[in-house]
Amino acid sequence: MKKLPSTLPNMLCVLTLISVIAAGALAYVNKITAGPIEENKARTLAEGINSVLGVSDAQVQQTTEAEDANGNPVVIYATNQGVAVQAIDPNGFGGTLKVLVGFDEAGSIKGYTILEHAETPGLGAKAGDWFQKGQKGDIIGKNPGQKELTVSKDGGDVDAITASTITSRAFLRAVNMAFHAYAGASATDGQTGASQQQQPKN
70-74, 150-154, 191-195: the lowest-pLDDT one: 191-195
Q: Are 170 and 91 in contact (CB under 8 A)?
A: yes
How large a percentage of the chain has pLDDT more than 70? 87
**Pick from 127, 125, 148, 146: which is nearest to 138 by CA?**
127
pLDDT band at 40 (very low <50, low <70, confident <90, very high): confident
pLDDT, tens digit, 9 for 90 and up, residues 73-122: 999 999 999 999 999 999 888 889 999 999 999 999 999 999 988 777 77
CA pair distance 26, 185, nearest whole angstrom = 42
pLDDT, tens digit, 9 for 90 and up, residues 113-165: 999 887 777 767 789 999 999 999 999 999 999 999 999 999 999 999 998 99
Q: Are 102 and 58 in contact (CB under 8 A)?
A: no
| Three-point CA angle 65, 191, 46, nearest 5° | 50
- In the predicted structure, residue 197 carries a pLDDT above the cut 50: no
- In the predicted structure, residue 37 carries a pLDDT above the cut 80: no
**Higher-scoring residue by pLDDT: 28, 34:** 28
Ordered by start, the domain boundaries in the chain are 49-188
Q: Are 32 and 46 in contact (CB under 8 A)?
A: no
**Pick from 129, 84, 86, 87: which is nearest to 103 by CA?**
84
Q: Which helix (H) or strand (E) holds 86?
A: strand 82-89
pLDDT band at 193 (very low <50, low <70, confident <90, very high): very low
Rounded to an integer, the average pLDDT of 18-33 is 80
